[in-house]
Amino acid sequence: MSSLKHTFSLLIILLLGLFQTTQAAQPTPNVASIDKPYVIPSPPSVAAKSYLLIDFNSGHVLAEKNPNARVEPASLTKIMTGYVVINELKNGNINMDDMVTISHKAWKMPGSKMFIEVGKKVSVRDLIKGMVIQSGNDASVALAEMVAGSEEVFAQLMNKYAQSIGMTNTHYVNATGLPHKDHYTSAHDLALLTKTLITEFPEEYKWYSEKKFTFNGITQYNRNKLLWQDPTVDGLKTGHTESAGYCLVASALRDKTRLISIVLGATSADKRIQETQKLLNYGFRFFETHKLYSAGQRLNDAVVWEGTRDLIGVGTTQDLYITIPRGQYKNLTIESSIQPDLKAPIKKGQTLGSIHITLNNKTIAEQPLVALSDVKEGSFFKKLIDQLKLFFNSLFSFLD
């Protein structure tokens, strides 16, 4: 068999000298040995019906209890109300300085108020502040009527946006969060909504960090007391009804790491603050988040046959973040794989492989590797040469 292989080699050495097979740049996994086991304490005990703590960038869950349970959102509903209004502003359908005539329905809304008066005109800007900072039910209805003509139609918009975000366990029937049997959400969906709001509208998100607002000579303070207690907290919204209990969606940013906390069904206003602070402190103390790669960054090269080019860059379509226990970065293992024998044409964005991140043999992240550019089919002569290369490569592989 060795003699046969040698004979074939002599016959084709001249042909192979005319062209050279291009090799892919192979990934270099960082296979690190584990010096010692690491220990992360269990999340703190949280007195709430449902809660969730996630990293904003990686989406990694740090603590949870009943995250998919259907719950009454109370005034956390106004996060979605605000999200719809912001989209309407961005789409040019309404403007901050538009004046809204206050209806009798908006004026008479029960619960928290910004104290608008029926028949008076109030700017969209003031209504937003009345909804976000003062949690005004009257402001929420006034905005809903301005955007959609009625609160009922506005609720349909809310549900369409929820579906587009991927909130599969949420349904709205009003813009305020007043109790209704068909008005519900979950901690997971609220985290998804919060992440989307901050990602898409970072400037408007700053509304949720304002501590007070004065309207009609009445000053009201933001019910999210963490804005005073923890300077790293910059939002988001409280909620309360007798049936829902005391709820709080909060987000905090420390050393370029942002966490989102959802606490639902606490027993008091003070308790929702205490339990949220416990979750945030736990997450920041015991975990760290790293950005490994940027979207579109060239991470590797893949061999392409029968194309106008022999190599194509590959990368991820999204920024790749990981959240890991503190001090464990050195123990990461990064591996990538590329599909064999790729042939042109190849389209930009086409999946060509994957990148796999593990920590101590446990998968923590995985993303597809896609083509960063197009590769067109080569000429007839180029395709013929590459076909010969593939033939002899497979032949030698068989002989081995």
In CATH terms, 50-287 corresponds, of 3.40.1190.20, 3.40.710.10, 3.40.430.10, 3.20.20.70, to 3.40.710.10
pLDDT given at position 15: 42
Catalytic residue among 49, 78, 195, 237: 78
Q: Please confirm, yes or no, whether 75 is among the known catalytic residues.
A: yes
Q: Please confirm, yes or no, whether 135 is among the known catalytic residues.
A: yes
pLDDT given at position 88: 97
pLDDT given at position 398: 52
Burial label for 38, CB within 10 Å (0-12, 13-18, 19+), is middle
pLDDT given at position 390: 76
Q: Please confirm, yes or no, whether 383 is among the known catalytic residues.
A: no
Catalytic residue among 103, 112, 135, 261: 135
pTM: 0.86
- Other C-beta atoms closer than 10 Å to the C-beta of 199 total 11
- Distance from the Cα of residue 189 to its chain's centroid: 12
d(CA 76, CA 190): 8
pLDDT given at position 382: 81
Catalytic residue among 75, 140, 261, 336: 75
pLDDT given at position 397: 59
Bridge pairing between strands 287-293 and 320-325: antiparallel
CATH superfamily of domain region 2-30+294-399: D-Ala-D-Ala carboxypeptidase, C-terminal domain (2.60.410.10)
d(CA 235, CA 62): 19
- Distance from the Cα of residue 97 to its chain's centroid: 31
d(CA 85, CA 201): 12
Q: Give me the numbers of helices (H) and strands (E) for the chain, helices first please.
A: 11, 17
3-state secondary structure 188-249: HHHHHHHHHHHHHCHHHHHHHHCCEEEECCEEEECCCCHHHHCCCEEEEEEEEECCCEEEEE
What is the residue whose two structure tokens read 């194309």?
Answer: 307
* Domains of the chain by residue range: 2-30+294-399, 50-287
**What averages of pLDDT result for each successive group of 10 residues across the chain (400 residues)?**
45 41 40 54 95 98 98 98 98 97 98 96 98 98 98 98 98 98 98 98 97 96 97 97 97 97 98 98 97 96 93 96 96 94 95 96 95 92 81 64
